Structure formats: C-alpha cells, structure tokens
Amino acid sequence: RRVSVLNADVSVGSVGKGVFFEAKNANFRAGRRHDGTTEFTVDGKIRYDDYQSVISSRFVMDKNNPAIEGTVEFKGVEISTLAKLFVRWPDYFDITMPVSGTCFVSLDQEGSLQRLRFNVDGGQGKFTSSLFPAPFEIGWLHSEGQISNNGGDIQIDKLSGEVDGMQMEGSGVVSLKENDAAIKINASLKNIPGDRVPVLWPPGLSPLSREWVVTNIAAESIPEARISTNIAFGDLQRDVLPKESIDASIAIKNAKIKYLPEHPETTKVDAVVHIDGVALDAAIESAHFLSDTKISKGRVLIEDLNAENPYIKVGFDAHAPAGDVVKFLELPRLGHAQRLNLRSEQAQGSAKGHV
C-alpha cells in the first residue's frame, strides 16, 4: 500500500515558536515495506524569510520500535532555521550561513529528538553574539557531530573553517540549559592578526585576565593559539572563572609587552604565553629592551591576574651594553643608580647574566 500527496503547500513550525518555514510544491509519499515497516519520503523546495532551499528526507517507522528514524538531505538551508527544528537555540548568539549536507535523525513517537548525527558544509556567513564585542565573518565551515538529549547536548567531533581570514579547527561538547551553558572544547586558530585578540577574547570570560593581556601585550602576529575549556553550568555567571576552566596557549611574534606601567616596553618579543582562569605564564624566546639589550630564556609569571595589583615575577638572560644596565637601575621601583652614583651616559662596556 502506498499513499502519495503531490504539489502540496506545507507550513512547518511549533505552537511556541511559530512557523519555521513553508514548502511549496512538496511531494509526500508513504508506504508499507516488505519487512512491515512504514516509509515516508518528502522532497521539495522550502521558503523562509528571503531564502529558498532544496530539501529531501526519508523516514522509517517500525511499530515494534518506539523510535522514528531517517535521513534528511538539504542544500543551501540557513543554519539557524535548520537548527531550531532540533535544538533550543540560545538567544545570546546567532549564525547566518547557508549549509548543505545530511543528517540522520531519531525521534520518539511524540516527536522529541533522541539523536541527530550531522555532516554539513557551510558557505559564507556571519556569527554574532552578545558574548563577543564584534561579529565574525565566516568564509567557509565544515562540521561533523551529533545532537542528543532532546537538543540539550551538542557534540562536535570535527570542526574546521575560515573565520575573518583565520584558520580554525576544533571539537567539543556544549550542553544547554535555559540560558546557561556548559562548554568543553578544544580549539585552535592560526594566522591571527595581533589586533584581533580583543575581539577573540570575550569580555565576560575571565575579564581581569583579559584586561591585563589586552592592555599590556600587543602582538604584530600570532601564528597559532590553542584553547581548551572546562566550563561548568553556572561558571559563566561568575565574576571570575575557576582556574581549571581555561587552558590557553598563544604563540606571539614581534610583540610589545609592558610589564610595569613605569617601565619602557619590551619589544620584538617572540614568546609562548600560557593562560588559565587565574594565572599567566609566558616563556620568552627572545626580546629587545631599552637601547640594545638582548633578552633570551625569559619567563614572566603572574600567579593571580584577578588581583587588583598583580604581583609579576620576571626572570631572563640578558646581554646588555653598560649604559642599558645603568638605565635599568634608574627605573622606578629600583632606583639604585643614583645611590651608587652611576650615570648611564658615562657607562662603558657590556654585561651578560641572568636577572
């Protein structure tokens, strides 16, 4: 037995959220297969807002199995419209981007989502969020993973793409509960312009750590940044994130770092900066200070970025002209040069050692 409905006009939505999209000239077919299961197929073009997309699906229902399972193929569907069919879309971010791909969907007989596996490719789009100070332009995106727990858990097995010209890779799990989220991710960005750091680091995420880094470190380029998060429900509402919630590593090239407000900048810094929810630990490969002081094997440690006046531990190997040594001793918080009756313009020679 088989039933066909051709060239139908259909609206799909929910009582609470209204109409998601409308389909014109859609074709429905239903029939019983030899194994006793019932197969449903749908194909057609759907319209929503100013968009039109091709979509087809095939579902199978077995009276001995409480689940309804099937596949959905789509081309050029806006991701937010597609996602709202299956997940509780948070109100603090939005993505506008056409996606194409396939989904395997498992529903219970009341229509609640049990599991959705997806493999999608996205074109050019935009990501905006109240968590970030500026939007991000998406060049392309590929994602594989699954959604479960009635849309409450989103697992990303593979994520890659281009965002604002930067190369992105990642994986992780995001769990949603009302307007809160638990976030466990591993991600990397490559080829980051130095001036993008204030945009990439959300102001509400470890804000005091962010303020110190944004204020005191200016990098010309960042070859790569990696971050792992272990943010639990409730953490995003805290003033300060727990230490273990963030584990970030940032490689910087040709940067300027200002350790103390009264001291000159350290320039031409090549380093790897490690940041967690509380501390900053930077390994300095090479740097330049004052007129011609060359720094290597350095370390900058701030054990509590959340302190009002954080204590900074600095150590490094230095090769410096004598004049720079005296200038260093003249700087505020040191002030030894005057007591020793030393003048930088009269100093001659050079010095080498560990500070």
How high is the pLDDT of residue 166?
93
Q: Which residues pair with 60 in a beta bridge?
A: 39, 69
Return d(Cα 4, Cα 41) in angstroms, integer. Answer: 9
Mean pLDDT lowest for which of 132-141, 202-211, 265-274, 329-338?
Answer: 329-338
H-helix or E-strand spanning residue 199: helix 197-200
H-helix or E-strand spanning residue 350: strand 350-354
Structure tokens at 201: 């680091």
Terminal CA-to-CA distance of the chain, rounded, Å? 86
Closest CA to 107 of 68, 60, 62, 70: 68
H-helix or E-strand spanning residue 316: strand 312-321
Q: Does the pLDDT of residue 271 top 80, yes or no?
A: yes
Of 135 and 220, which is predicted with more confidence?
135
CB atoms within 10 A of CB 258: 14
Structure tokens at 283: 């390994």
- 262-271: average pLDDT: 90
How high is the pLDDT of residue 342?
60
Q: Does the pLDDT of residue 71 top 80, yes or no?
A: yes
The secondary structure of the chain in percent helix, strand, coil, rounded to multiples of 5, reads 15, 60, 25
